[in-house]
């Protein structure tokens, strides 16, 4: 037998259905088996554990939302991180101009702009 786990899983699913569970169209994110709803809770009978399904991110616990946000920012594919990248680039460009600036007004203007961009960056990061 090559697929023993899968067979056991199917058996477990069938048993859960007999016991009054409802077969869902959603698949388990871990093993891709059909999920079963029992008493308002969703289980994967193959993984043999409860599975949490959320319709959208706002339903997730706060810590999970924060972790997801942090993750998205570090992988660089969220809108937020694009804004951060742009601000970082601007800060870098302003820093270079500041290095070469002689005029006191220019220096004040540049450092003021850098400081404001930094504050924006910190604000985005902490949100
Ligand atoms: Zn599973």
What integer best gives the mean pLDDT of the chain? 83
Q: Measured in angstroms, how far is the CA atom of residue 46 from the centroid of ligand 1?
A: 5
CA–centroid distance, 34 to ligand 1, in Å, is 8
Is pLDDT above 50 for 2?
no
Beta carbons within 8 Å of 102's beta carbon, 6+ residues apart: none
pLDDT of residue 72: 66
126, pLDDT greater than 80: no
Instruction: State pLDDT tens for residues 42-87.
Output: 999 888 889 887 666 676 777 777 877 777 666 555 556 788 889 9
Ligand 1 midpoint to CA 28 (Å): 5
User: Could you tell me the distance, in angstroms and rounded to a whole number, from the CA of residue 19 to the centre of ligand 1?
Assistant: 19
CA distance 23 to 21: 7
Q: Quote the ligand 1 centre to 16 CA distance (angstroms).
A: 14
Q: Per residue in 12-24, pLDDT tens? A: 889 999 989 999 9
Residue-level pLDDT at 37: 92
């Amino acid at each position: 037998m090559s697929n023993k786990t899968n067979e056991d899983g199917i058996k477990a699913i069938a048993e859960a259905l007999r016991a009054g569970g409802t077969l869902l169209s959603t698949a388990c994110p871990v093993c891709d088996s059909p999920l079963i709803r029992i008493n308002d809770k969703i289980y994967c009978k193959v993984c043999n554990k409860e599975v949490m399904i959320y319709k959208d991110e706002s339903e997730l616990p706060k810590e999970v939302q924060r972790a997801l946000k942090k993750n998205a920012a570090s992988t660089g594919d969220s809108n937020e991180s694009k804004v951060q990248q742009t601000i970082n680039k601007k800060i870098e460009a302003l820093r270079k101009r500041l290095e070469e600036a002689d005029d006191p007004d220019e220096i004040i203007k540049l450092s003021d702009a850098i400081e404001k961009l930094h504050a924006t960056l910190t604000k985005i990061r902490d949100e």
